[in-house]
């Protein structure tokens, strides 16, 4: 079993964060027992976490419990630094990527890592993606936007073309959610409502802008959380494309035709949703993703896919591992 969506956060001290970017670089406060901790930004708690996030030996034990052979880890999105000065963020990204490789070094056959890049600067982002790939990362994780720039922005498209040309697989994670400050203050609504919308926005930005017409077909690009709202609302998008010229103007083909260019993980937590996802994306374009070790992840990794009655055994094997082998070239 290969899990392509899990997160790590390195043991960054308050002093290290303060030296990197005062008040803005995140760090990790670990409680005295070493079992739980808190991601911090400045002196503000961001998220309670536990040992699996930073301790690769502990993670490997958890993988054994879940029957996970290989796990692909990426930065916790608060590590991105997209709003920082670009050079500062580039130095930080390089440092975080070395931390990621150090995490994987506990067992390089089973722990794989994606790089992070300073996405606010396309030249620096391309350079770091290539450097980190040569250093041992198996792909790059990006947020679905950097400030006001979505994936259709010319710089973002240039970055994706670079990744296609260099054979660097891309994993897109939603972050910095819309509407979070005022209208979605409670009940984790930014994660439940805005996050799926951010992911869908990323996918539709690529499709409706015609960017996928310019990006080589060799690009391997996967979206987190089953593509968020994408699959469920694709019929609405196709209908809009057929009946409104402003939806068609940059997108020469029906939006659903582009779904075969995109990949998603399986983190949808519902068999009906997984069936729709497989129907829309194709069984070869869905990969097991747990979103461990966070509470919103699949708590028994692989249970949804293993228990999905509509999948044949070969289809199940594809989602649980074979698709990831092809996608990442493992």
Name the site residues for Zn ion (rule: CB under 5 A). 291
The tokens describing 67, both together, are 């029957």
Q: Which of 72, 54, 61, 58 is nearest to 109 (CA)?
A: 72
Cis peptide before 249 (omega within 30 of 0): no
Give the shortest CB-173-to-Zn ion separation in angstroms.
6
The tokens describing 108, both together, are 């390089």
When the beta carbons of 91 and 291 are compared against Zn ion, the nearer one is: 291
Give the shortest CB-294-to-Zn ion separation in angstroms.
7
Give the shortest CB-298-to-Zn ion separation in angstroms.
11
Residue closest to Zn ion (Cβ): 291
Give the shortest CB-35-to-Zn ion separation in angstroms.
22
C-alpha distance across the termini of the chain, in Å: 13
When the beta carbons of 230 and 241 are compared against Zn ion, the nearer one is: 230
Give the shortest CB-214-to-Zn ion separation in angstroms.
28
When the beta carbons of 152 and 291 are compared against Zn ion, the nearer one is: 291
When the beta carbons of 150 and 291 are compared against Zn ion, the nearer one is: 291
Give the shortest CB-120-to-Zn ion separation in angstroms.
21
φ and ψ at 36, to 5 degrees? -130, 165
Give the shortest CB-61-to-Zn ion separation in angstroms.
21
Give the shortest CB-295-to-Zn ion separation in angstroms.
12
When the beta carbons of 143 and 321 are compared against Zn ion, the nearer one is: 143
Residue 236, CB-side half-sphere exposure with 13 Å CA sphere: 7
When the beta carbons of 224 and 251 are compared against Zn ion, the nearer one is: 224
When the beta carbons of 198 and 291 are compared against Zn ion, the nearer one is: 291
When the beta carbons of 3 and 291 are compared against Zn ion, the nearer one is: 291
Please answer whether residues 202 and 229 qualify as being in contact, where contact means their C-beta atoms are separated by less than 8 angstroms. Answer: no
């Amino acid at each position: 079993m290969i899990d392509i969506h899990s997160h790590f956060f390195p043991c960054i001290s308050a002093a290290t964060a303060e030296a990197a970017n005062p008040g803005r670089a995140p760090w990790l406060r670990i409680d005295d027992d070493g079992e739980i901790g808190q991601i911090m930004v400045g002196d503000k708690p961001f998220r309670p976490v536990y040992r699996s996030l930073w301790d690769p030996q502990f993670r490997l034990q958890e993988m054994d419990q879940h029957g996970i052979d290989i796990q692909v880890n990426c930065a916790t999105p608060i590590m991105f630094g997209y709003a920082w000065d670009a050079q500062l963020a580039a130095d930080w990204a390089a440092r975080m990527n070395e931390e990621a490789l150090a995490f994987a070094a506990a067992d390089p056959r089973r722990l794989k890592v994606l790089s992070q890049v300073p996405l606010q600067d396309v030249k620096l982002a391309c350079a770091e993606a290539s450097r980190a790939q040569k250093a041992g990362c198996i792909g790059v994780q990006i947020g679905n936007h950097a400030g006001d720039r979505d994936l259709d922005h010319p710089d973002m498209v240039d970055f994706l073309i670079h990744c296609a040309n260099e054979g660097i697989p891309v994993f897109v994670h939603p972050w910095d959610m819309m509407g979070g400050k005022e209208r979605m203050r409670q009940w984790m609504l930014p994660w439940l409502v805005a996050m799926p919308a951010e992911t869908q926005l990323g996918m539709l930005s690529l499709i409706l802008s015609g960017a996928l017409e310019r990006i080589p077909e060799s690009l391997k690009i996967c979206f987190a959380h089953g593509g968020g709202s994408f699959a469920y609302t694709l019929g609405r998008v196709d209908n809009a494309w057929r009946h409104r010229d402003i939806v068609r103007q940059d997108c020469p083909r029906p939006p659903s035709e582009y779904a075969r260019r995109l990949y998603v993980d399986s983190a949808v937590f519902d068999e009906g949703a997984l069936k729709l996802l497989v129907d829309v994306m194709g069984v070869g374009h869905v990969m097991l993703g747990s979103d461990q070790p966070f509470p919103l992840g699949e708590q028994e990794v692989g249970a949804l896919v293993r228990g999905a009655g509509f999948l044949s055994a070969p289809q199940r094997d594809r989602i649980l591992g074979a698709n990831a082998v092809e996608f990442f070239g493992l």
